[in-house]
Structure 1
Amino acid sequence: MTLLVLTATVQAVYYVLTGIWPILSIDTFQRVTGPKTDLWLVKMIGALFAVIGLTIGVAVLYADIDRTVAVLAISCAVAVIIVDVWYVSRRVISRVYLLDALAEVFLLIGWSLGLFLAG
């Protein structure tokens, strides 16, 4: 398994699991991440993350990790880092989101090295 395939697989699983979590159990999600006001929006974002993860996972399954999938995966990771750090620094969301930002940084490193090694 190449680093690119490993990174894509990890991101796919991470996004699907964290995406469905608030849908399946909003109470446990809020216990970890803090209270939310618009639960429908939390669930919508979760659904979108699950779909992104599913899309990356299908690319892995069919050995078709092309530029489009890489752009989707990398841009999502960058967006999550920006949102997590921005809103934690303004004390809008819990500091636990910095762990998510860190996970996204590792995904970016994996994508960068994986794409570099793939040529």
Structure 2
Amino acid sequence: MQKKYKIFPAIQALYYFVTAVWPFIHLESFLAVTGDKTDIWLVKTVSVLLLPYCLLLAYLTFNSKRNLIIVLSIMLCCFVLIGIDFYYHFTGVIKWTYVIDGVLQILFLLYWVYYIINSKE
């Protein structure tokens, strides 16, 4: 992976990390931004599930080897989060702030598509 590719995975890892730990550090502010939730256990479960992706993104940031399986895993994560964000927002379940996350996930996904198209073995 060339140096120009390293900043984007680092930004995505940081974003996922902040998203993952925020409900544990200050649940009240998380709920103020994202909306009230009835199942706090589910908020924390989804948050914890983002942590392995942080590790995968850190690997891509600090390792010069191209790893297609990790990239495809990250892309799948982006795709699933896009679906969740938009589906549940437009069905009235979650707040508009999730649309912002959905847009960010689209940008992340587009980056990884670009990465795959422009990477060399």
TM-score, with structure 1 as normaliser: 0.91
Report the 3-state secondary structure (helix = DSSP H, G, I; strand = E; otherwise coil) of the residue aligned with 1:40. Answer: helix
1:24-39 equivalences in 2 (<5 Å): 24-39=25-40
2:91 matched residue in structure 1: 90
User: How far apart are 1:65 and its partner, in Å?
Assistant: 4.1
Q: Is the 8 A contact 1:16 1:54 kept in 2?
A: no
Q: Is the 8 A contact 1:7 1:111 kept in 2?
A: no
2:80 matched residue in structure 1: 79
The change in CA–CA distance for 1:65 and 1:13 in structure 2 (over 3 A counts) is farther
Q: Which amino acid letter does the alignment assign opposite residue 96 of structure 2?
A: R
1:110 matched residue in structure 2: 111
2:10 is the counterpart of 1:2? no
TM-score, with structure 2 as normaliser: 0.89
Name whichever of 63-72 and 78-87 sits farther off. 63-72
1:12-27 equivalences in 2 (<5 Å): 12-27=13-28
Name whichever of 96-105 and 64-73 sits farther off. 64-73
Distance 1:109 1:83 in 2: 17
Report the 3-state secondary structure (helix = DSSP H, G, I; strand = E; otherwise coil) of the residue aligned with 2:95. Answer: coil
User: How far apart are 1:20 and its partner, in Å?
Assistant: 0.7
Distance 1:10 1:118 in 2: 19
Q: Is the 8 A contact 1:78 1:104 kept in 2?
A: yes
2:46 matched residue in structure 1: 45
- Count of residue pairs brought into register by the alignment: 118
1:69 matched residue in structure 2: 70
* Higher relative contact order (CA closer than 8 Å, sequence separation 6+): 1
Distance 1:56 1:117 in 2: 18
User: How far apart are 1:55 and its partner, in Å?
Assistant: 2.5
- Runs of at least 5 residues in structure 2 that lack an aligned partner in the other structure: none
